[in-house]
Amino acid sequence: MERLWAPWRIDYLVQEKPAGCIFCQEGSDRDRLVLQDNPLTLVMLNRYPYTNGHLMVAPKRHTVDLESLSDAEMLELFRTVTMCRNVLARSSAPEGFNIGINLGKAAGAGIEDHLHLHVVPRWKGDNNFICVVADIRVVPEALLATYDRLLPYFAAAGEVA
């Protein structure tokens, strides 16, 4: 049997997990992995990424319903998604993107009680045999290294209005 070692994961596994919604928690942007904080939306790295640069975009207001979003929230949400796609295109040169919303547990929502969109950069071959054979996802860049690499791009992109 071969082993895939990921010793950097132990810190996360043994730390106390914060209660409540990840999008509504207080704390430093770096600790929360928040890359951009706009008036109505925020952008953060996914702690469990499919690949490097997997972002989540959420309205600041705690809601689960698309129908409850105001026109201003909807517009900022999708402008922010567009900005995220542009930032990732410049910073990471992906060959494609998955952009989507998982509404409800049956649809795969890991965070059911706060609406959010995923922006996932994709490259040919990023989903290879190890995912199928070993049910393991290989993410080649450490999470905080990705955060530090992307943060200047989001600062340069400015606030979405």
144: domain CATH number is 3.30.428.10
pLDDT value of position 67 = 95
pLDDT value of position 141 = 82
Residue 13 lies in a domain: no
Residue 7 lies in a domain: no
Residue 116 lies in a domain: yes
Give the strand order in the sheet containing 34-37. Answer: 34-37, 41-45, 55-59, 117-122, 96-101
Q: What does the alpha-carbon distance between residue 53 and residue 51 come to, in Å, rounded to a whole number?
A: 6
Residue 35 lies in a domain: yes
- Residue range(s) defining the domain that contains residue 82: 30-153
147 Cβ neighbours under 8 A, 6+ residues apart = 30, 33, 35, 45
Write out the chain's pLDDT in tens, 161 residues. Answer: 566 667 766 776 777 766 789 999 999 999 999 999 999 999 999 988 888 899 999 999 999 999 999 999 999 999 999 999 999 999 999 999 999 998 888 887 888 889 999 999 998 877 654 554 556 666 778 889 999 999 999 999 987 76
Residue 89 lies in a domain: yes
Residue 16 lies in a domain: no
> pTM for the full model?
0.80
Residue 17 lies in a domain: no
Catalytic residues: 116
Number of independent structural domains in the chain: 1
pLDDT value of position 153 = 94
Residue 99 lies in a domain: yes
